[in-house]
Structure 1
Amino acid sequence: MTKDRKTLNTNSNIYTIIYSAIIVVVVAFLLAFISSYLKPAQDINVALDKKKQILAALNIRDISDKEVAEQYKNIVESDDIINSNNQVITKGTKGGENAGFKLNSADFKAGHLALYVCKINNETKYVIPVYGMGLWGPISGYIAIDYDKNTVYGAYFTHESETAGLGAEIKDNVEWQKQFVGKKLTKEGSDGIALSVVKKNDVKDKTTQCDGITGATLTSNGVDIMLKDCLGKYISFLKDK
């Protein structure tokens, strides 16, 4: 007389649950491993892209990745962290990558402000990061200013999900970015940030106003708000001549 052998019922609910749980654990482990393995390379690419954006604000574009690393190291004198009272929280270093360079929008909201001190042709320039919201998602960028702390030397903007040919023009249209060059951040007799983006062909003050993007009013408004809010946090620095 033989005993009946118990076999696993692959049609049971318990089997389905256990099998699904094992698959989820295995997939989660593999994804975590791959993410951990790729993170160093991802971090390098993110840092490189950030350097490209800062250099673009300084009107240095269309160069190789190797040149980006070299130019950034030579041009950036310090990546300081200051607060809204223009007090230095952390002093950056030459070719700065360890102080202000590490900050993001969350740090910015917490009152830690990155300030890049740069040298172009032996002239001091300052680069300030800006963060905001466009029509479909976050927008950001960098504003480079002259030593007078009032004249725009260059600008670069980017986005996460704006519409191609419309809101995406803040990144793709270099000529649109170039119109910021020479504009003033502030003007005499007025408090706060005067630099602004207005509806296309509605510019009344050419010293402080830039044309918006045709067909992308909400994104243009987002850039305008971003400039006023973010640069406004640096007002103590800007007024400290």
Structure 2
Amino acid sequence: MANNDSIQKTITVALSLCLVCSVFVAAAAVGLKPIQKANKDLDRKRNILSAAGMLDSNVSIDQAFETIETRLVNLETSSFLTAEELSSAGIDPATYDQQAAAKDPAMSVALNGANDPASIKRRANYSSIYLVKDGDQIERIILPVHGYGLWSTMYGFIALENDFDTIIGFGFYDQGETPGLGGEVDNPNWKALWKGKKVYNDQGEAIIQLAKSSVDSADPLAIHKVDGLSGATLTSRGVTNLVQYWLGNEGFGPLLASLRSEGAQ
């Protein structure tokens, strides 16, 4: 009987300890959630500023981001959502979660086959974009892009000058490619190669791409090419596919063409 009592007490103590620990873990998760959200938002702002070439060690991330205007674009109509449309849809551009929207059938469209070169499966109906303006004039535009590489979906930002063609900067903030190979998309030296490259040809087609190796300066299309990632053919192909998709007709291409046309008037 004493032995049975001992086993019962041991089980009771173990269960009580598990219950107390689970309460502490749950409380910690709830308590840390606002901090995690704030850190995630800060990292998003840092990556947007980095792509735009606007990171300044002497200015806080939040302060620097005050110069950037966040807008939502309807990718079906290639137009900015108006205040009335945002209010009707109950969407706040500052808190809009594009990744979550892409998973919601009511807020996204399914893609497949030739319509999905970036292998994203679903595309949100609305996309966030970020504008740096001088008065009413857009000086820089920063666009979110994503697509599949070899092992992972790569998420990043690409920034363009106000000709809506010349690249200012490009980089990924979330990717799981092979370190030392496809993972070189995080290499600052490789990211620097994008600056000054042109996205579109004379026909308005998005032909920016990664070369098979190093770019040949004698190549007439060199201005549209960036050095490929050595030993990472599938990641390189994924990068080409995603930038051409998002800057092409199914992504931001029509919006950028409209902005170029307005600037030429």
TM-score band by shorter chain is 0.7 to 0.9
1:27 and 1:234 map into 2 onto residues whose CA distance is 49
3-state secondary structure, aligned to 2:40: helix
Alignment of 1:54-203 (within 5 A): 54-61=48-55, 63=57, 67-73=60-66, 75-76=67-68, 78-84=69-75, 85-89=77-81, 98-99=92-93, 102-107=96-101, 109-119=123-133, 124-171=139-186, 173-189=187-203, 191=205, 193-201=206-214
1:45 is the counterpart of 2:39: yes
Amino acid at match of 1:117: L
2:41 and 2:149 map into 1 onto residues whose CA distance is 23
CA positional deviation for 1:103: 2.6
1:131 and 1:60 map into 2 onto residues whose CA distance is 21
CA positional deviation for 1:52: 0.7
Q: Is the 8 A contact 2:167 2:198 kept in 1?
A: yes
Higher Rg of the two aligned structures: 1
Cα distance change, pair 62–137 in 1 and its aligned pair in 2 (3 A): farther
3-state secondary structure, aligned to 1:222: helix
Q: Which residue of 1 aligns with 2:222?
A: 206
3-state secondary structure, aligned to 1:10: helix
Q: TM-score, normalised by structure 1?
A: 0.79
Q: Is the 8 A contact 1:132 1:225 kept in 2?
A: yes
Q: Is the 8 A contact 1:199 1:212 kept in 2?
A: yes
Q: Which residue of 1 aligns with 2:231?
A: 215
Q: Is the 8 A contact 2:168 2:195 kept in 1?
A: yes
| Unaligned segments of structure 1, at least 5 residues | 93-97
Amino acid at match of 1:79: T
Percent identical among aligned pairs is: 26
1:231 is the counterpart of 2:247: yes
Q: Is the 8 A contact 2:71 2:128 kept in 1?
A: yes
Render the CA deviation track for 1:156-211: whole Å, top value 9, x for unaligned. Answer: 2233322322222211x2121121112222212354x2111231126541121111
Kindly report structure 1 stretches of 4+ aligned residues shifted beyond 3 Å.
18-29, 119-123
| Unaligned segments of structure 2, at least 5 residues | 87-91, 103-122
Cα distance change, pair 213–112 in 1 and its aligned pair in 2 (3 A): same
Q: Which residue of 1 aligns with 2:29?
A: 35
CA positional deviation for 1:80: 0.7
1:90 and 1:19 map into 2 onto residues whose CA distance is 60
Number of residues of Structure 1 aligned to a counterpart in Structure 2: 225
RMSD: 3.0
1:197 and 1:180 map into 2 onto residues whose CA distance is 10
